[in-house]
């Protein structure tokens, strides 16, 4: 029998449900169980692909090309598994299929309703994931906060799942904030009590409550939460603030959460094997050095816009014993105040991430130029890769007015141009070049030394590419295209071998980076930043 664990959140969003979900998965995984995790997003968008990262955080890209909520990234990193796009269920998808079926006449004249038709579709989707993945335990995290109107059909669906799957096979975990009053230092449980009541009103009695608090909650607070939540004290846990997010599963398990879940779900007891995970946590929390990175982007005000990139840099840092300190710099600042570019001298590395549209691009190009001319380690991802080509075309190949047609309609030199297959596309949803594609690596290059292979699979999300008409002139001036698509139609990696470290990729390595297994381009970049800072010769890898 498959076990289903449902995670809801209370009081406010961003309370760390995604991390608790990932941590619960980890606790079960280290006990030998196969797990998968689903994120349910009550918004009406069909997927996260059309959402602004500045408001909602990064769009995570799965191996099969899904554009999903960033929590799938946390599940993948914590559980070291690749998830398919079906693991992100949205209201948009649910309604789309219910309405399609209605139009086909599948409901045979019946009135189509939220209960049972929409809720049935939600349950069907959760069970499809369970069947396809073949795991022992399916975790389902409900986005938003209990009490949101749009979340109601999802909560109703998971409520019904207990009736259908049985008490021993279902478990409800509620995660809610316990604030500490600044003036008195008191831990307040009232908001949590209210959100538990809200959940009960819908018909769900939580089995476990996780209090999110700055500090470990006191015995008295545990007693209070248990009493008002109608659960035993041993079912109350606390996710308190720790030096690194990767420590959360350890602190929850120390409180007995893994054991409690197994007991409650009748899962045979087995000793948790934490060694590898703990080793990584110790490594990331005890660095010898600090590497300072300037991230020059467009969504600098919200670090969640770059969460996979942040983590990929940290994974790389952990392997070289370095703490990663990132300054998020709005690229436009270099346009408004040209002298500001010199502040980039203070950094060990310059990083230009993904992006869309014209805003801030001239500032990013200035930053890339600064990195190249001052030989500061540089990593460019996707838009960062494309803009590195623009910079090189303008300033090395002397192609005045070189640009991307995403930025300027008819530049003098369209070195970055829309991919031919994109020209007819007008529909915005899920139409970019998405997901994992093979990349052929040229031997004897930095890319080959980093990846140690001539064939890799990396994830993509783009519409533009390097214009083949300019390949020759770029190469004549020293650009090395060390990664190509298998049909040799598309450039995937651009490097400058004479530089200390200058590397850019059309693909997004960050989506495949895992704790203890950093993605090579990120590892290479961080290692180069550190070695240069320590005055060492260029790393050979
Ligand atoms: N805007 C660029 C494109 O669509 C880059 C996309 C990205 O950085 N993910 O090709």
Interval 269-286: pLDDT, tens: 899 999 999 999 999 999
Neighbours of 275 (CB within 10 A): 9
Q: Determine contact, residues 283/243, Cβ cutoff 8 Å.
A: no
Nearest CA to ligand 1 atom 3: 462
What is the Å distance from ligand 1's center to 434 Cα?
A: 11
Return d(Cα 439, Cα 437) in angstroms, integer: 6
> What is the tally of helices (H) and strands (E) in the chain?
18, 21
- CATH superfamily, with its number, for domain 3-279: P-loop containing nucleotide triphosphate hydrolases (3.40.50.300)
Least confident among 8-22, 103-117, 229-243, 527-541? 8-22
pLDDT for the residue 332: 96
Share of the chain above pLDDT 90, in %: 93
Nearest ligand 1 atom to alpha carbon 382: 8
Q: Kindly tell me if the per-residue pLDDT of 14 is higher than 80.
A: no
**Mean pLDDT (whole number) for 357-366:** 97
> Scanning the structure block, which residue is given the tokens 């009736």?
163
> Scanning the structure block, which residue is given the tokens 């203070």?
346
Neighbours of 411 (CB within 10 A): 18
- The two three-digit tokens of residue 320, written as one number: 């070289």
pLDDT for the residue 98: 96
Closest CA to 494 of 365, 355, 380, 371: 380
pLDDT for the residue 15: 82
380 φ, ψ to 5°? Answer: -120, 135
Q: Determine contact, residues 242/285, Cβ cutoff 8 Å.
A: no
Task: List active site positions.
Answer: 382, 508, 510
120 φ, ψ to 5°? Answer: -60, -40
Q: Determine contact, residues 238/210, Cβ cutoff 8 Å.
A: yes
**Alpha carbon distances (Å) from 491 to 170, 205, 408, 437, 468:** 48, 54, 21, 12, 9
Nearest ligand 1 atom to alpha carbon 357: 1
Q: In which residue ranges of the chain is CATH 3.40.50.880 found? A: 287-533
What is the Å distance from ligand 1's center to 354 Cα?
A: 6
Task: Compute the half-sphere exposure of residue 431: CA atoms within 13 Å on the CB side of its CA.
Answer: 12
Nearest CA to ligand 1 atom 5: 383
Return d(Cα 104, Cα 343) in angstroms, integer: 61
What is the Å distance from ligand 1's center to 432 Cα?
A: 9
Q: Kindly tell me if the per-residue pLDDT of 13 is higher than 80.
A: no
What is the Å distance from ligand 1's center to 6 Cα?
A: 35
pLDDT for the residue 360: 96
**Mean pLDDT (whole number) for 146-167:** 96
What's the whole-number average pLDDT of the chain? 96
Fold of 287-533: Rossmann fold (3.40.50)
Return d(Cα 77, Cα 510) in angstroms, integer: 10
Q: Kindly tell me if the per-residue pLDDT of 482 is higher than 90.
A: yes
Count Cβ atoms within 10 A of the Cβ of residue 143 and give its class: 0-12 exposed, 13-18 middle, 19 or more buried.
buried
Give 415-459 pLDDT, tens digit per residue: 999 999 999 998 889 899 999 999 999 999 999 999 999 999 999
Nearest ligand 1 atom to alpha carbon 384: 8
**Alpha carbon distances (Å) from 119 to 18, 29, 101, 115:** 23, 29, 14, 6
pLDDT band at 56 (very low <50, low <70, confident <90, very high): confident
Q: Kindly tell me if the per-residue pLDDT of 531 is higher than 90.
A: yes
Q: Kindly tell me if the per-residue pLDDT of 375 is higher than 80.
A: yes
> Scanning the structure block, which residue is given the tokens 């990331």?
284
pLDDT for the residue 218: 97
DSSP character at residue 514:
B
pLDDT for the residue 11: 79
pLDDT band at 100 (very low <50, low <70, confident <90, very high): very high
- The two three-digit tokens of residue 400, written as one number: 């005045």
Q: Kindly tell me if the per-residue pLDDT of 465 is higher than 90.
A: yes
Q: Dihedral angle at the C-alpha atoms of 443, 445, 448, 451, nearest 10 degrees?
A: -170
24 φ, ψ to 5°? Answer: -60, -45
Nearest ligand 1 atom to alpha carbon 353: 8
What is the Å distance from ligand 1's center to 344 Cα?
A: 24
Give 291-332 pLDDT, tens digit per residue: 999 999 988 888 889 999 999 999 999 999 999 999 999 999
What is the Å distance from ligand 1's center to 382 Cα?
A: 6
Q: Kindly tell me if the per-residue pLDDT of 42 is higher than 80.
A: yes
- Ligand 1 pocket, 355 CB below 6 A? yes
Q: Determine contact, residues 35/138, Cβ cutoff 8 Å.
A: yes
Q: pTM of the entire structure?
A: 0.96
Give 340-352 pLDDT, tens digit per residue: 999 999 999 999 9
Q: Kindly tell me if the per-residue pLDDT of 364 is higher than 80.
A: yes
Mutate to test the pocket of ligand 1, among 353, 464, 491, 505 (most ligand atoms within 8 A of CB): 464
Q: Kindly tell me if the per-residue pLDDT of 488 is higher than 80.
A: yes
pLDDT for the residue 412: 98
Mutate to test the pocket of ligand 1, among 358, 365, 428, 463 (most ligand atoms within 8 A of CB): 463
Share of the chain above pLDDT 70, in %: 100
Nearest ligand 1 atom to alpha carbon 464: 10
pLDDT for the residue 10: 86
Nearest ligand 1 atom to alpha carbon 406: 1
What is the Å distance from ligand 1's center to 356 Cα?
A: 6
- Give residue 431's Cα distance to chain centre: 20
Q: In which residue ranges of the chain is CATH 3.40.50.300 found? A: 3-279
Mutate to test the pocket of ligand 1, among 354, 358, 403, 508 (most ligand atoms within 8 A of CB): 354
Mutate to test the pocket of ligand 1, among 67, 359, 382 (most ligand atoms within 8 A of CB): 382
DSSP character at residue 105:
T
User: In the beta sheet, which residues pair with residue 102?
Assistant: none
Q: Kindly tell me if the per-residue pLDDT of 29 is higher than 80.
A: yes
pLDDT for the residue 303: 85
């Amino acid at each position: 029998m498959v076990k289903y664990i449902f995670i809801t959140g209370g009081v406010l969003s961003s309370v760390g449900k995604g991390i608790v979900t990932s941590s619960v998965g980890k606790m079960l995984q280290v006990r030998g169980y196969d797990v998968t995790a689903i994120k349910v997003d009550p918004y009406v968008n069909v997927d996260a692909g059309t959402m602004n990262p500045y408001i909602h955080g990064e769009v995570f890209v799965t191996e099969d090309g899904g554009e999903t909520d960033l929590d799938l990234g946390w599940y993948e990193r914590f559980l070291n598994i690749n998830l398919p796009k079906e693991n992100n269920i949205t209201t948009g998808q649910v309604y789309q299929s219910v309405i399609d079926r209605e139009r086909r006449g599948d409901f045979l004249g019946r009135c189509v309703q939220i209960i049972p038709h929409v809720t049935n579709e939600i349950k069907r989707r959760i069970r499809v994931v369970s069947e396809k993945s073949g795991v022992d335990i399916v975790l389902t995290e409900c986005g938003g906060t209990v009490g949101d109107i749009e979340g109601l059909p999802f909560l109703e669906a998971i409520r019904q799942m207990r009736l259908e799957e049985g008490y021993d096979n279902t478990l409800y975990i509620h995660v809610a904030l316990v604030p500490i009053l600044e003036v008195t230092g008191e831990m307040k449980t009232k908001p949590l009590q209210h959100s538990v009541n809200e959940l009960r009103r819908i018909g769900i009695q939580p089995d476990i409550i996780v209090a999110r608090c700055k500090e470990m909650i006191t015995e008295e607070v545990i007693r209070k939460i248990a009493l008002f939540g109608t659960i035993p004290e041993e079912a109350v846990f606390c996710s308190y603030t720790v030096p690194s997010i990767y420590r959360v599963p350890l602190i929850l398990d120390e409180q007995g959460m893994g054991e409690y879940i197994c007991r409650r779900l009748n899962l045979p007891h087995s000793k948790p094997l934490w060694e590898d995970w703990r080793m990584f946590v110790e490594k990331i929390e005890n660095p010898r050095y600090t590497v300072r990175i300037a991230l020059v982007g467009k969504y600098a005000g919200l670090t969640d816009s770059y969460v996979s990139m942040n983590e990929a840099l940290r994974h790389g840092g952990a392997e070289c014993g370095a703490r990663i300190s990132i300054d998020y710099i709005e690229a436009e600042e270099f346009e408004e105040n040209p002298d500001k570019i010199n502040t980039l001298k203070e950094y060990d590395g310059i990083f230009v991430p993904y992006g869309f549209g014209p805003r801030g691009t001239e500032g990013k190009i200035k930053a890339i130029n600064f990195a190249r001319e001052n030989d500061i380690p540089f990593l460019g991802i996707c838009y960062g890769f494309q803009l590195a080509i623009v910079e090189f075309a303008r300033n090395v190949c002397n192609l005045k007015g070189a640009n991307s047609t995403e930025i300027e309609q008819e530049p003098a030199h369209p070195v970055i141009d829309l991919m031919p297959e994109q020209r007819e596309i007008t529909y915005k949803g899920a139409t970019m070049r998405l997901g994992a594609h093979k990349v052929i690596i040229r031997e004897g290059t930095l890319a080959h030394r980093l990846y140690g292979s001539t064939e890799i699979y990396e994830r993509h999300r783009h519409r533009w590419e390097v214009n083949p008409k300019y390949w020759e002139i770029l190469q004549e001036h020293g650009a090395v295209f060390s990664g190509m698509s298998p049909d040799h139609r598309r450039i995937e990696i651009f490097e400058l071998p004479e530089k200390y470290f200058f590397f850019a990729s059309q693909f997004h390595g960050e989506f495949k980076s895992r704790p203890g297994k950093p993605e090579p381009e990120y590892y290479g970049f961080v290692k180069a930043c550190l070695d240069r800072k320590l005055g060492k010769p260029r790393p050979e890898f």
